[in-house]
Every structure is written in structure tokens, then in C-alpha cells.
Amino acid sequence: MDEDTRYEAVRSRDARFDGEFFFAVETTGIYCRPSCPAVTPKRRNVRFFTTAAAAQGGGFRACRRCRPDAVPGSADWNVRADVVGRAMRLIGDGIVDREGVAGLATRLGYSARQVQRQLTGELGAGPVALARAQRAHTARVLLQTTGLPITEIAFASGFASVRQFNDTIRAVYAATPSELRAAAPRDRGRAPRAVPGTGIPLRLAYRGPYQAAAVFDLLARESVRRVEEVSGAWGDRTYRRTLRLPYGTGIVAVAERTRSPKAGPAAHPGGWLDARLQLTDPRDLTTAVQRLRRLFDLDADPYAVDERLSADAQLAPLVAARPGLRSPGAADPAEWAVRALAGPAESERLVQRYGKALDAPCGSLTQLFPEPAVLAAAEPHGTLGALAAALADGTVRLDPGADRDDATQALLALPGLDPAVAAAIRVRALGDPDVAPPGLDMPDGRRPWRSYAVRHLEAARDLGAGPNPYAPQHPYPEGKSEQA
């Protein structure tokens, strides 16, 4: 999009572009999302930015009406496999906060200077600024939804000092942390303040239409007892699962019911899923949220996907029947890789035997899925043992910044690992939107959204291969491992 086209999107308050770009008004010093309901500024006073961090770096503060820091992420970072796309996925997962720019560069295989140059040149902000913007958003969520002391929130958000925290909040929101907390909305359908012991309430934003029922159907079919569950009546279900996170553990609950703001000029302005996170360490909030967004595919661009797939004669009626169908990812890539190979029954056995018990179980959620290193030591033989060992020692990398082609080649090099399982892992664990199961005729005209095309075919039962068309449902007879 050129700047004139972007301005037209701002004039029409087009929510389809929320998160794809931001605009700032030089006369007010404020930056907004394209769908901001405020009076449209004059074109000569408007500047455009690719990221919120770039707008903040330009000296602009976030609009209090449209909350531009709370928009869905750009779909580009899911699609792109280059260093910028991989870097953005890693920054979203909190790598810069935990390992610094040096850690980010090491994972990408570049020098810190090269990473800084590429991100700044394309996005207008380097890794530190991008991480800073993310920390500010995390801090706002904690300030406005929890009763944690402000000092604790500063460090839980990833800031190195309280002074740095205070300076950033003032720069981004033009308010002190105390003022930001006092301004927290408590009505109009907004997220309520957390009650001690009940977790942090969240609104997980998405753009465009969202087929929640299809996502929850898939999660229900795949659920592994003790680690996850889907409960409630169809249309009003809740997905709950345990999470292993960098600093501790968590339990998340996500409601199937989708919520939307008042309809604007766009046919499908988007909306959000209600979620609640219980964390043993609040420093894990950013990472947990990003992993949920990948699991539910909330940063997708359904307009681009549906437009491309609707040009296919076979898919057009399927897209019309299910606009905004998503291609879910994984909350824990290594866990999902093991589950893709083992199947549901075998995965439940692995959890029962080797899963780590939660210190504070919550109903039927009692354990974490076993770590690859534990599985590699307990059951070292066969394909499952080889996969677990490769995940544990880094031979196979499935983190958000992993090179998808390298990961696929490493998976296929494992003894006995079927290409269909490798394809399943690439789609779900690595979030690749353009993968077709081996042997399935998938015309190039469906690129770069072949993973979504498969989801449409599977949802319409055209594949007849069960809930997961990428991988065998029972690779081990009667749920037994290869070793057995």
C-alpha cells in the first residue's frame, strides 16, 4: 500500500488494516490504528509507520480511544520466512527480554549489527525498540487488569528498572503508571479487573471473521487428558490447558464465544476471544499471550486468505460457507511435534508416565506434557526416541525463529519419520501457512495459503482422513510405542 491508499483506509476507518500499519498525527503527537473513531486528521498532518515501536520512536504516544497497542499482530510475520519475519516472531515470544539482542542474533544466525540494520531499515525500529513497545503493552495489561504492586509489574513486564518502566509508560501513554491504572475501564463490556486467585483476564484480538467453532472442534478432537480439555456445550465451550513457560507454568482458559465491538463500515471489523491466564510468574505473560495467539491463529489476515482461495473453483463455495477459517498452530511446538508422531492415545500414556505434576492442579488439568529431554532418556529407542533427542539437543529447532526449511530437513533426516508427520509439524509447530500434505494435489494457485486450503477441505470432509489430514491418526498400533 502507498501512503495515499493508507490514508483512504484511515478515512474509511477500515479495521481490516488494524495492526498492518499505524498512523500518527503531527499536530497532536498521537498515533492510532486505522479504524480509530476520532475525527480524521488532514492528510498533510499524517505520518505512517509499520510498527507501533516506530511510531513511539518518532515521539508519538498511543491514542487512548483506539488503543493501537492492542491490535492483532501483522500477518506478515506468520507468512515471511526471512530474517525479519523470524526476528519478529522471536521478539514476540520475549527472546530480547530474556536473552538480549545478542541472544536474538544468535538464534537467527546473524550478527547483532546485521539484525539491527535489517529491522531498522524495514520497520523503522530496532529489536530493543520493538521489545520496549511490547513491554509497555504488557505493563498496561497488568496495570489495568491486576492488583499487582506497580514495582512488581515493572519487572514482570521485562523492564530492567523501575525508572526505565516509569519513563517508558510516560513516553508511550502520556501518563504515569498510577494514572494509567486509575483510568482502567470497568464497564462497557471491557475486561474486568482480576480477582485474586482467578488469573489475568485478557481479550485476544483478531481481525475479520473468525470461525471459532471449527478451531474448538479441532482442539477437542486432539485434546490430551491431564494437559488440556474442552468443556461446555457447542457454541459455548471453554478450552483449557497447562503451559510450560520460560519462568514458570501456567493454566489458560479461552472461551469459544467471540465478541465484537460495534460494527463499523467494514463488514467484519474483527473482535476478540475472552481468555484468562493463571501464571506462577507474571514475567511469562507476554510469552503466554503470543503462544495463545499462534495456537488460535489470531494474527492471520482472513481477507487476503479468503480472496486468494475464493479464486479457486473447488474452494470458492467452501470459503463462502466458512469465511475466516483459521489454521491453528501450537501452544508448545516441541510438545506438538511429539504428539503429531505419537497420536492421541500414545500421547496420553506419555503424559501419565512422564508428565510433570503441577504444584497446584486445576480440576482435570494436573500435568505438563513431558519435556523432550525426559522422553529421550525414558524411551530412547525408535522414531519417538530419535525425535525427542533431536528436540532436546537442538538438532531440530521449532522455536518461533527457526528456519522452516532447515527444520523440515532435520525432521526428515530422523530414522522412520514419515513426510506426512514432518508436514504436520511444519504447519502446526512452525506456523507455516503454505503447506500441503504429501501426495495431496494442491495447485500452486492456492499459494501462499495452502495450509488454509487444507483446513477448508478437511472442514468440508472432502479429505475423509479424520481430524488431521497431514499425519496418520494411529502410527502405533493400539496406542503402543515403537519400543513396546
Q: How many CA atoms lie within 13 A of 349 on its CB side?
A: 12
Average pLDDT over residues 62-70: 91
Q: Does CATH place domain 200-296 in 3.30.310? A: yes
pLDDT tier, 464 (very low <50, low <70, confident <90, very high otherwise): very low
Instruction: Name the CATH architecture for the domain at 76-182.
Output: Orthogonal Bundle (1.10)
* Mean pLDDT score, 368-395: 97
pLDDT band at 484 (very low <50, low <70, confident <90, very high): very low
Q: Does residue 399 register a pLDDT over 80?
A: yes
CB 423 within 8 A of CB 437: yes
Confidence of residue 217 (pLDDT cuts 50, 70, 90): very high
Residue 62: per-residue pLDDT? 95
Angstrom CA distances, 358 to 228, 295, 355, stand at 13, 22, 9
Over residues 77-99, the mean pLDDT reads 93
Contacts 24+ apart (CB under 8 A), 346-350: 346/476, 346/479, 346/480, 346/481, 347/224, 348/224, 348/225, 348/226, 348/479, 349/479, 349/481, 350/375
Topology alike, domains 200-296 and 333-479: no
- Give me the sign of the Cα torsion angle 103, 406, 376, 419: positive
Amino acid at 179: E
- Determine the CATH number of domain 333-479: 1.10.340.30
Domain ranges of the chain: 3-70, 76-182, 200-296, 333-479
- Read off the pLDDT of each residue in 370-375 and give the average, rounded to a whole number: 98
pLDDT tens digits, one per residue of 278-297: 999 999 999 999 999 999 99
Q: Span 298-306, mean pLDDT?
A: 95
Spatial separation of the C-alpha atoms in residues 216 and 255, rounded to whole Å: 9
Q: What is the pLDDT of residues 245-265, one digit of tens each?
A: 999 999 999 999 998 876 444
What kind of fold does domain 3-70 have according to CATH?
DNA Methylphosphotriester Repair Domain (3.40.10)
Burial of 40-58, coded b for 16+ CB within 10 Å and e otherwise, reads ebeeeebebbbbbbbbbbe
pLDDT of residue 183: 86
Q: How far apart are CA 114 and CA 126, in angstroms?
A: 11
pLDDT at 396 over 50: yes
pLDDT in the model for residue 481: 35
Chain center to CA of 200: 17
Segment 148-192, tens digit of pLDDT: 899 999 999 999 899 999 999 999 999 999 999 998 866 444 444
Assigned C-alpha cell, 479: 496406542
pLDDT of residue 77: 87
